[in-house]
Amino acid sequence: MKMIAAENITIASTGYAFANVDYFDYNNLRKNERSKNRIIIAKQTSPALTPFLLSAEGLLLQHGGVLSHAVIICRNIGIPCAVNVPPGLLTLCENRKVEIDGKNRTLRIYDLKE
């Protein structure tokens, strides 16, 4: 299994997650029900995202800061959250396992095709 370590990413909430990723679709909230036990990827946050965080393993955000609404929710429920993740890196996460380690402030992407 090959691994890519992401640099210059802000890990804004502690916790640990190692899971597949799923893009959050604001236009089709019913589709997001499959996000259970996965790391959610979103461009930005809105209140619509909050219920899905309760069953998610973690969150990767393209936009946001350490005091954004989603980060505060992630801290309260104990899941890791990375913010300001570049769009190219988010695309790279698709169809791969991702590890967010809030304690060590690391984000790793694993290529399962070996």
- Centre a 10 Å sphere on the Cβ of residue 3 and count the other Cβ atoms it contains: 11
Residue 69 designated active-site: yes
Find the catalytic residue in 69, 75, 97, 105.
69
Catalytically active residues, by annotation: 69
